[in-house]
Amino acid sequence: MQENPPLQHSTTPSLQPSDGPAIEAHGLTRRFGHVAAVDALDLTVERGRIHGFLGPNGSGKTTTLRMLCGLLRPSAGTAKVLGMDVAHEAEAIRRQIGYMTQRFSLYEDLTVIENLEFVAVVQGLPAKKRRLRVDELLGRYGLNDRRRQIVGTLSGGERQRLALSAAVLHEPKLLFLDEPTAAVDPQNRRDFWESLFDISDGGTTILVSTHYMDEAERCHSLSILDVGRLAASGRPRRLAEALGQRVVEVETATPREAQTALHRAAGVLSVAQIGTHLHILVDEGASDPVGVVTAALRDAGLKGQVTSARPGLEDVFVAVTIARRKREAERSAA
């Protein structure tokens, strides 16, 4: 029996000596009736990383996390979590993972301390360690003066920090977070991510799902999910750089007219207005994106200043989802 190793944030190196990836999945599939919520997903998450799942609602993020936690059985494919098979060794996996559900899942009619002590016992923390660990987490996540408060009366940020405390109480090797910042203001979100880096620094691997671009950008590595399929994966910076020169910005006095014109233009994938300028993503094949946009504006009789821009993660996301929709449209037309 291997006990959970203590998490000492300052002394352990940020990457543990690796014995295989923390998560490895091949062709992971989950069907509900005839609908495939997750479809042939391949995934590798190295130990010690913060890996992000980026995707809109219904893209299969929660279903994937639940399969990896052993809560849902895969319809097809295999997944190994910390070297153990999710289909057959779910109980052993549960001892080493922490899971923060999308919906708040602690007892609202118990106090902060009652909740944490309950989770500590259920997770099998030895009696001596329990108090110390609970106190440590209450201090770290700023819940000390909320100890005796009934959880139902906490604010959104406090609840989220309590949920995180409960998920890391037993010092899991792998932490699953399902849209952890959904009900939290920007300041709390920033603080929350600082906590995640602290936890990661202690050697814990983190898999976090989100639909916020700024959060996805903070991850070490990223999987972009779209209707249950893996649309792209890699380091956020690399994913953006891979778009090359395809992002163009237009500064114009008549943004609405320009947007309408560009929507119709061949070779333009998407146009979004940001304040007074337009943010444009051009087709993959185009050799001169600035030229394509300039020509389209000229043809419509509109004026504007066209410049090349640095692609962001949102462009990556738009590029992969629109490319998919185009493929589907072509397939149904054929």
Partner 1 sequence: MNSLRRLFAIMQKEFRQLKRDRVSFGMIVMIPLIQLTIFGYAINSDVRHLRAAVSDESRTDLSRELIAMVQQTQVVDIVGAASGPRELEQWLKEGRISVGIVIPFDYARRVERGESQPAQLLVDGSDPIVGQAAVQVAQLRLPGVKASAASRNAAVEERTHSFSTAVVPFNVPPIAISVPAFEIRLDYNPERISAVSIVPALLGVILTMTMVLFTAVAIVRERERGTLEMLITTPVRTAELMIGKIVPCIGVGLVQISIILGLGVVLFHVPIRGSLVDLYIAGLAFIIANLTMGLLNSTFAQNQFQAMQLTFFFFLPSILLSGFMFPFDGMPVPAQWIGEMLPLTHFNRMSRGILLRGATLAEVGRDLWPMAAFFGVMMSVVLLRFRKRLD
Do 119 and 168 touch, CB atoms closer than 8 A?
no
Cβ 30 to partner 1 shortest distance, Å: 9
Q: Which helix (H) or strand (E) holds 29?
A: strand 23-32
Cβ 208 to partner 1 shortest distance, Å: 16
Site for partner 1 contains 1 (CB under 8 A):
no
- What is the per-residue binding string for partner 1 in 71-110, x denoting contact by CB under 8 A? xxx----------------xx--xx-x-x-x-xxxxxxxx
Do 308 and 247 touch, CB atoms closer than 8 A?
yes
Cβ 77 to partner 1 shortest distance, Å: 15
Residues 256-275 contacting partner 1, CB under 8 A: none
Structure tokens at 81: 């979590």
Site for partner 1 contains 236 (CB under 8 A):
no
Residues 163-182 contacting partner 1, CB under 8 A: 166
Cβ 140 to partner 1 shortest distance, Å: 20
Residues 6+ apart with CB under 8 A from 104: 159, 163
Of 106 and 258, the one with the shorter C-beta distance to partner 1 is: 106
Residues 101-160 contacting partner 1, CB under 8 A: 101, 103-110, 114, 117-119, 121-124, 150
Residue of the chain from 69, 177, 184, 207 that contacts partner 1 (CB under 8 A): 69
Structure tokens at 131: 């108090």
Cβ 167 to partner 1 shortest distance, Å: 9
Do 278 and 305 touch, CB atoms closer than 8 A?
no
Residues 6+ apart with CB under 8 A from 223: 43, 51, 52, 53, 54, 230, 232, 233
Residues 6+ apart with CB under 8 A from 328: none
The rounded distance, in Å, linking the Cα atoms of 106 and 95 is: 18
Of 3 and 284, the one with the shorter C-beta distance to partner 1 is: 3
Please tell me what DSSP assigns to residue 150.
B
How many chain residues touch partner 1 (CB under 8 A)?
A: 31
- Angle of helix 186-201 relative to helix 156-168, nearest 10 degrees, comes to 10
Of 175 and 318, the one with the shorter C-beta distance to partner 1 is: 175
From 38-46, 65-73, 153-161, 215-223, span contacting partner 1 (CB under 8 A): 65-73
Give the interface with partner 1 as residue ranges (CB under 8 A). Answer: 66, 69-73, 90-91, 94-95, 97, 99, 101, 103-110, 114, 117-119, 121-124, 150, 166
